[in-house]
Amino acid sequence: YCVDTTGSFSVESPADCSSMGLAARKFRPVLIEAAGGWTTSFTELDEYDLEKATAAGVQRLLNEAEVYEGNIDGYIGRRTRAAIGEFLAENDLSAETSDADLIDLLEQIAREKGREVGLTLCNRTHERIWAAIARRKGEGWESRGWWQLESGGCARAIDDALLATPHFVFAEMEGDEGGLRHLKGASDAFCVARGRFAIAGRTDCEASAYRTVNFKGTAPAAGGKLTYEFFERDFDEGER
């Protein structure tokens, strides 16, 4: 099945997870033996003690820092030690740096790298809005949502570097009389779903139990990064 590793998700699973920016994960069936309720306990099948789990965390962070491309297996072997040494040398750090300090430094770098690219949505209105995005994906198109943006809040919609082409946004805001207000100038049709979604393609939406709505094009991304701000003036007067 497909999952969204960036946070909570509820997606209608496409045939190809990677084409939607999702990750494929193997699920295990659960046998429910009581109709009124059931508790499933998770246990670790592999012998992952605290030391091994810490080592796996270091490997993953080294990978995100782009100094390690090996397996995330919890074993600090020759390749992992070489990557750690390279990272410490590049950052003028002591070879005696503790694992805890190393993890803190790697997490900080990962956060900084994440802020350098991707798509961020910000709500500059006085009301809560629900937003979705659409973009080119390979040879086709994809649309994804929803992000709940409180007044003054922001959310990361895409963590990867963006192509230097327009992306598309959609947003709904509740009007004064209970109707919905939409973005002015939106003219590019994509599919959306009632719940959180990741949809491949932009045609025949209703045939797949989606609905067609108009998105608005953004300015092209610069340097793999784009921040899109929703202002009050961007929305129509709403339904009456």
Per the CB < 8 A criterion, the answer to whether 149 and 196 are in contact is no
Residue 153 pLDDT: 92
Residue 28 pLDDT: 78
How far lies 42's CA from each of 24, 28, 74, 189, in Å?
20, 11, 20, 43
* CA 85/CA 94 separation, integer angstroms: 9
Enter the tokens of residue 132.
């979705």
pTM above 0.75, yes or no: no
Query: At 9, is the pLDDT very low, low, confident or very high (cuts 50, 70, 90)?
Result: low
Per the CB < 8 A criterion, the answer to whether 160 and 118 are in contact is yes
Residue 19 pLDDT: 58
Q: Which amino acid is at 236?
A: D
Residue 124 pLDDT: 95
What does CATH list as the number for 118-234?
A: 2.60.40
Which carries the bigger pLDDT value, residue 209 or residue 37? Answer: 209
Which carries the bigger pLDDT value, residue 106 or residue 47? Answer: 106
pLDDT > 90? residue 92: no
* CA 28/CA 40 separation, integer angstroms: 12
pLDDT > 70? residue 47: no
Backbone CA torsion sign across 115, 116, 118, 119: positive
Residue 170 pLDDT: 96
Q: pLDDT (tens digit, 9 = 90+) per residue, 187-225?
A: 999 999 988 888 888 999 999 889 999 999 998 888 888
Domain residue limits, the chain: 44-116, 118-234
Q: Which of 108-117, 141-150, 216-225 has the lowest mean pLDDT?
A: 108-117
Q: Which amino acid is at 65?
A: A
* CA 84/CA 10 separation, integer angstroms: 37
Residue 35 pLDDT: 66
Determine the angle formed by the axes of helices 50-64 and 99-116, rounding to 10 degrees: 30
